[in-house]
Amino acid sequence: MYHIFFTADENYIKFTSVLMTSIVKNATKAYEKKPFCFHILSDFISDVTRKKLEILQKTLSEIYPCEIKIHIQDNAKFDKFPSSGAAQNNKLSYYRLKMLSCLDDNVKTCLYLDSDMLVLEDLRELFALDLKDNIAAVVGDMGSKRAKIKFMEGSEKKTFYFDENYFNAGLLLINVKEYQKAQIEERCEELASKCFYIKGADQDLLNACIESKKRLKLDFAWNFFINAYAYAITKDDKLGYLNYTKEEFKHSFESPKILHLCFKPWKFLRSFNDSKGRNVNDLWWEEAAFTPAFSAELLELKRHIKDHLLYAGLGSLLYRYTKNFNVLKIVHLIKHQDEDLKIAQNAQNFNDKDFALFLLLGEMVLHARAKKKGVFSVFLKALKCISSYEKYARR
């Protein structure tokens, strides 16, 4: 079997179902036809959702053999793990650290995928890779690698700094034997228990515990973050950002294998256009419309989505105020929400080029509101984003 893991709570199962559907529908090449075994790690799944998953399994199996298994986790297992950064709302992101306990002893390889992904190619290509003595095959993360973990070693405070090899844990192809041999799960838990500063939750822990020399670096195409359609700073441009050359990035840009939909389609009807000029969130909704058992629920949700308009509307104003160095207007934008409805309505007809940048900037405004960030922090981040976009955007 091809063993594939996801973490999803009750609310996220319907989104994970679209990902599973895309995996099955793209299993079209001449690889060994072993069944997919989809493992869902969750804290709770209702009887209604379980019945839908049974229908999903039965219907997808008519296309390609597959099985869906549910593994309910006890949050008490994660008491030692910090509730901060990516794990501030729940411990769900840590669940993947326990996934090997769900496998039989004879399983050699397993794959983890984030639920906000869409598969465009035959995923069995990954399972055909020879991992040799590597612990995992991974894809480099976007953005600056200035992140760090701070932890206690006895009575001494220590800091672990990440480098350009930092990977995104949204895709992990695990060599089970080597992962267990290196005691990655145990080391992650031990480090977590000592942390007093961590932002990336399990992703930071895995990056700290899996040595760079024991990773197989995959093409960016296997975990293509859709904000890279707006702009991407490659290692040819500037060290410390996306650890791929311009040529490597270009290949992935033109032929992505898995889209990582960080601007989630269930919140954003519109996001970024791919190399063919298609709104990538439309691709997800096309799959959702034909996802067995969950399509009606998803399409009803689609009718009420407006976040993309608010983000873009706020971003357009932040762009204007930043370019004019109008800090007082930025203060007003962050502090007051009474005009949000009108701002969102004005975003209906933004062109594709502007929409991409405005989404990124709008996210900054809403993050500043939620986290009570200062105006100068927002201004400087917006200035940097605009400068990077103007310099590195794909034309």
**Cα distance between residue 172 and residue 206, in whole Å:** 10
Same domain, 28 and 140: yes
Q: What is the model's pTM?
A: 0.94
Which parts of the chain register pLDDT below 50?
A: none
Other Cβ atoms within 10 Å of 144 Cβ, number = 13
C-alpha distances in Å from residue 334, one per residue of 259, 358, 367, 371, 381: 31, 15, 9, 11, 14
Tokens coding 347 = 């975003």
**Cα distance between residue 179 and residue 49, in whole Å:** 32
Same domain, 198 and 315: no
Q: Which of 301, 330, 346 corresponds to the end of one domain?
A: 301
Cβ-defined contacts of 49-56 (< 8 Å, 24+) = 49/10, 49/13, 52/13, 52/17, 52/293, 52/294, 53/13, 53/17, 53/293, 55/292, 55/293, 56/17, 56/20, 56/21, 56/291, 56/292, 56/293, 56/294
Q: Which of 301, 326, 350 corresponds to the end of one domain?
A: 301
- Domain holding 383, by residue range, is 306-392
Same domain, 287 and 197: yes
Same domain, 54 and 169: yes
Count up the domains in the chain and report the number. 2
Other Cβ atoms within 10 Å of 141 Cβ, number = 25
Same domain, 280 and 341: no
Q: What is the pLDDT of residues 63-95, one digit of tens each?
A: 999 999 999 998 888 888 887 666 667 788 899
pLDDT score at 144: 60
Same domain, 333 and 212: no
Same domain, 82 and 66: yes
Same domain, 201 and 283: yes
The secondary element (H helix, E strand) that includes residue 376 is helix 375-392
Q: Which of 301, 316, 342 corresponds to the end of one domain?
A: 301
pLDDT score at 85: 67
Same domain, 241 and 355: no
Same domain, 129 and 189: yes
Residue among 141, 185, 147 at smallest CA distance from 165:
141
Same domain, 210 and 234: yes
Same domain, 102 and 230: yes
